[in-house]
């Protein structure tokens, strides 16, 4: 099967008009997507993070993936499964919503939406395609 690229729109919850569009090849992982989000919003990578493929924050489902060193070993562990899973194993389709939280203390929330799935070109991945609105400083936010 030909390699594909997922195009994600990432909206920072609570900060109207702050969003990013990121392209990530399907052979990369949620960890790679996390790093792309860190770079896109200008955050340091010094906190835990998690993704929920049902699009709802803090649900305890099989579709909850977290930082690999924090993930539980059992599939029903509420700490989630490892984010080291490849994107092409997640059943992502255009329109699918994914919830992402960075820093469980300050709880930066990002609503991700799969905007498109396209054939992968020779472009670097992940890459920032669009940046709208200035992201607030990482350490000025209080949940």
| DSSP character at residue 137 | P
**Structural domains of the chain, count:** 1
Residue 59 lies in a domain: yes
Query: What is the reported pLDDT for 2?
Result: 65
Residue 76 has pLDDT above 50, yes or no: no
Q: Enter the pTM of the model.
A: 0.87
Q: What is the CATH number of the domain that holds 85?
A: 3.10.290.30
Asked if the structure places residue 119 within a domain, the reply is yes
Burial of 142 (0-12, 13-18, 19+ CB in 10 A): exposed
Is 39 part of a structural domain of the chain?
A: yes
Residue 142 lies inside a defined structural domain of this protein: no
- Is 143 a member of any domain? no
Q: Residue 137 — pLDDT band, cuts 50, 70, 90?
A: confident
pLDDT at position 105, please?
Answer: 84
What's the confidence (pLDDT) of residue 73? 43
Q: Indicate whether 18 belongs to any domain.
A: yes
Least confident of 13-17, 32-36, 81-85, 122-126: 122-126
47 neighbors 102 (Cβ within 8 angstroms):
yes
| Domain ranges, residue 53 | 4-137
């Amino acid at each position: 099967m030909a390699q594909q690229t997922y195009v994600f729109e990432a909206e920072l919850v609570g900060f109207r008009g702050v969003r990013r569009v990121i392209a990530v090849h399907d052979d990369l992982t949620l960890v790679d997507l996390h790093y792309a989000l860190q770079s896109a919003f200008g955050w340091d990578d010094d906190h835990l993070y998690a993704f929920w493929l049902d699009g709802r924050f803090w649900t305890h489902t099989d579709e909850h993936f977290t930082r690999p060193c924090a993930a539980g070993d059992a599939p029903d562990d509420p700490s989630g499964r490892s984010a080291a899973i490849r994107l092409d194993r997640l059943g992502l389709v255009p329109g699918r919503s994914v919830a992402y939280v960075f820093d469980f203390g300050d709880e930066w929330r990002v609503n991700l939406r799969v905007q498109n799935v396209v054939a992968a070109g020779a472009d670097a991945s992940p890459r920032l395609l669009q940046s709208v609105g200035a992201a607030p400083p990482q350490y000025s936010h209080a949940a």
